[in-house]
Structure 1
């Protein structure tokens, strides 16, 4: 069980006197890590005109215990999206793309279920998360070997969950499509554009593109997640690496400081060279989609009465009356956060090797408050948010152990459930019998063991324990549109599959 010293955490999260800021921030970071059992973290703080403040804590991996340093690479997940926005802007500056170019003009194999959306969707729509399609992570999750144009072609079954351009509909798939548009327009891969046109001129030599680039690298943070009892280390036999423009970069604190400096300098490299034009830079950071939903995380990140939204690769909003651009990244055992304030000339990036951390928000706010000179600000609400989330995790895990204890499948279930199940949006799930157990093969992935979860559901025993707690990945067998089928759910998303005729 993760235990939290909430009183101490709350005291540490008040603003500190100027002479004690560095030490107080250091203490805050360590206590946030202890509160969430984060094995290792790295923080980069950039203030305009000053040398970067780089901090590192803990170990890269519980299994090896090597220390984190300023050059340890962490997966930054969705923080990658701003890199995709920059290479798209560079293509626009060169006249190879337009923000309002139709996707189908550049990618003839692009389609979604709604023909009208297919015909009208633009690069701007992809980057601003306003296509209205379902998020669709099950598609790329189920097909780890399908990428690039093949993955684009597989999107044609994605239905709408909201009206086209009517609101915010976050999608890793649409950012992957944006990266593929850049590749088609420039004649070279998205990966090459990022390496040559962003990482190299900014001196981001530590940053790696794609999971395959990690091979042979020693200074890399491992993956950790809560398994229902404690935080543990894990590895993936088959990394989910087919949506790289949405989340495929691995970066160090040193490099993230250089990335923040680029934004604070309004698109300029350290030598003064512009990587994007002033017009394109302005377009990237302009709010494109207003977000009307506001939950506890949004309330902690933005002012209560101010609008927030999404630009290109950045969430936008107001914090303490100042414009802030920010993004969270997470998944596969990591948690990251980046934020910067244009008028204050300050930015912060936090990377942790523990999935689902809320502490990165506490660190963000502490750094921004320090830069703004805010004092005596009570952070009880973060301590409450953290306590509520951890209590939810623990209760769900405890309840699951009581009500869904492992049991053998019945002979009737072992006979009735095996078969192939198909979804127009997400592909095929193959259920197979192996002795007294069942396995599920999601698309072209490897077979995954299943275990009973209640009377009519099976839990997928995935490598990443985050898919087990607090909301497990499940298959439920039931009718779908009048025929035998199943529903697969994971990470708050679900898809219906019909059983194929035998």
Structure 2
């Protein structure tokens, strides 16, 4: 069968990559229980020190070796400034760490013969469309979980931001032009992977949330884990999301990721996630029983798409099915990070040869603490000492994610031209605008200014401040509230705007809406 031949090819390639391209990785000393014990002690001290220094308000760590959870502990507080301490049962929103968890759910469906990684989405979910007919007809679950469908990475995230639900977002992906040829480019897509999961579960007749619980969470006793935000919100022992306000961690925003639940909507605990890590390092075996067939789970770790190099360690990085596959300082590892810009950081790292895994979940952004702790732990286990300050190195990476873009936007709009061109009367801009992707948008007068309303039934409102001529500014981003973006109008000879371009919805050049109705 072609699938088996391809899988064999990738296994041979991966072996070649580890043994030939990274020969030093194979030469590392065999890890010992004593070294792991010493590493855990030093990791605990690093975590305690980082929380005491204000690196994050709270975090929890689970470590698995073989079929045992050998470390499980919480540090710091659920909500900055409040007494409730994080423990192993504190529920965190795990953001994109949801992706490998969801890949495991689909692997369970594959193992049970319900679906194949190469099942065509056109057969599973005939209503789904990409922008072009050929990719639509050939698209598979494997394509969507490896981010090679051609969908631009941010496609659908913008619609989620303005209040659309999952069904509507997935429907509107058909209006998004591809960013690459089908299967030729890697573009990390929350809603592409979400569609892969939704299509895979269609045959069960269950919702994604119910199927995830049945096929994975319940089987592993992950009683505090859910793919529903409402379940997270019910827990008394839950971690708030934190961002820095004037240099101090503050719980400012709540994040409901239900629309992209398979890609970013799981909530869980260090205790529960450690059970999942046991399943992964056991290659589908848990408590001595095969819960997922090895060949179904193996495929999630085949390196399908090149991602370049790890930005700190320099190791070669690839993407499998919901998993990063890396060849670095300590050989082959599988992993995935997660982040909400409104206040979450998560990470899992697994060394399959050693059957060793670590999961770290934290309640703040930006921070590189999870990667820093994970890399430090790996150094301690494999080498006996920490090579460098990995926490500082990864903090720099995450601090750079938003900072330069925010500063560039501020600089762009630092001061209007002097003198600024006057705006037209408010009546020139007021009215209804629309396109297929964003749907309806309404501009209305409000006092001395304008308000833009977008999303279902005008769910989101943004004040518009005049900048120059027919260009206005707004501040739409809860993750970077001081970052301005432009909203520009085209005013015709009749004195009315015929079109409007919304900067914060224009990542994929779909932010221009035409006036309708008058």
TM-score (norm. length: structure 1): 0.83
Distance 2:365 2:448 in 1: 33
Distance 2:196 2:235 in 1: 29
Classify 1:94/1:45 alpha carbon distance in 2 versus 1 (closer, same or farther; 3 Å): closer
Classify 1:384/1:440 alpha carbon distance in 2 versus 1 (closer, same or farther; 3 Å): same
Q: Secondary structure at the match of 1:299?
A: coil
Residue 329 of structure 1 corresponds to 338
Matched, 1:231 2:249: yes
Residue 8 of structure 1 corresponds to none
Q: Mean alpha-carbon deviation: is it higher for 197-206 or for 429-438?
A: 429-438
Distance 2:293 2:403 in 1: 49
Distance 1:38 1:97 in 2: 41
Matched, 1:259 2:271: no
Residue 173 of structure 1 corresponds to 191
Distance 1:28 1:453 in 2: 49
Classify 1:405/1:257 alpha carbon distance in 2 versus 1 (closer, same or farther; 3 Å): farther
Q: Secondary structure at the match of 2:311?
A: helix
Report 1:300-339 matches (<5 A): 300-303=312-315, 306=316, 308-331=317-340, 332-339=342-349
Matched, 1:363 2:378: no
Residue 141 of structure 1 corresponds to 160
Q: Secondary structure at the match of 1:41?
A: strand
Q: Secondary structure at the match of 1:208?
A: coil
Residue 39 of structure 1 corresponds to 57
Given candidates 198, 203, 207, the residue that maps to 1:185 is 203
- Residues 44, 53 of structure 1: 8 Å contact kept: yes
Residue 285 of structure 1 corresponds to 301
Distance 1:18 1:215 in 2: 36
Classify 1:302/1:276 alpha carbon distance in 2 versus 1 (closer, same or farther; 3 Å): farther
Quote the offset at 1:162 in angstroms.
Answer: 1.1
Residue 474 of structure 2 corresponds to 459
- Residues 487, 494 of structure 1: 8 Å contact kept: no
Given candidates 427, 438, 451, the residue that maps to 1:439 is 451
Distance 1:391 1:106 in 2: 40
Given candidates 215, 222, 240, the residue that maps to 1:204 is 222
TM-score (norm. length: structure 2): 0.81
Moved over 6 A (4+): 16-19, 391-403, 408-411, 490-494
- Residues 301, 361 of structure 1: 8 Å contact kept: no
Quote the offset at 1:378 in angstroms.
Answer: 2.6
**Could you give the per-residue CA deviations for residues 447-498 of structure 1, whole angstroms, max 9, x where no partner exists?**
3332538543422355x3x2325xx363431559x96321332797764222
Alignment: residue pair count: 470
Structure 2: stretches of 5+ with no match in the other structure: 1-33, 492-496
Classify 1:163/1:208 alpha carbon distance in 2 versus 1 (closer, same or farther; 3 Å): same
Distance 1:333 1:453 in 2: 31
- Residues 423, 466 of structure 2: 8 Å contact kept: no
Classify 1:38/1:286 alpha carbon distance in 2 versus 1 (closer, same or farther; 3 Å): same
Classify 1:119/1:268 alpha carbon distance in 2 versus 1 (closer, same or farther; 3 Å): same
**Could you give the per-residue CA deviations for residues 179-208 of structure 1, whole angstroms, max 9, x where no partner exists?**
211231111111111111101111111112
Q: Secondary structure at the match of 1:209?
A: coil
Residue 125 of structure 1 corresponds to 143
Matched, 1:156 2:174: yes
Distance 1:228 1:491 in 2: 30
Distance 1:109 1:392 in 2: 36
Identify which of structures 1 and 2 has the higher relative contact order when contacts are C-alpha pairs closer than 8 Å and 6+ apart: 1
Quote the offset at 1:373 in angstroms.
Answer: 2.8
Query: What RMSD over aligned residues (CA atoms) do the two structures have, in Å?
Result: 3.3
Distance 1:401 1:167 in 2: 32
Distance 1:241 1:374 in 2: 42
Quote the offset at 1:40 in angstroms.
Answer: 1.2
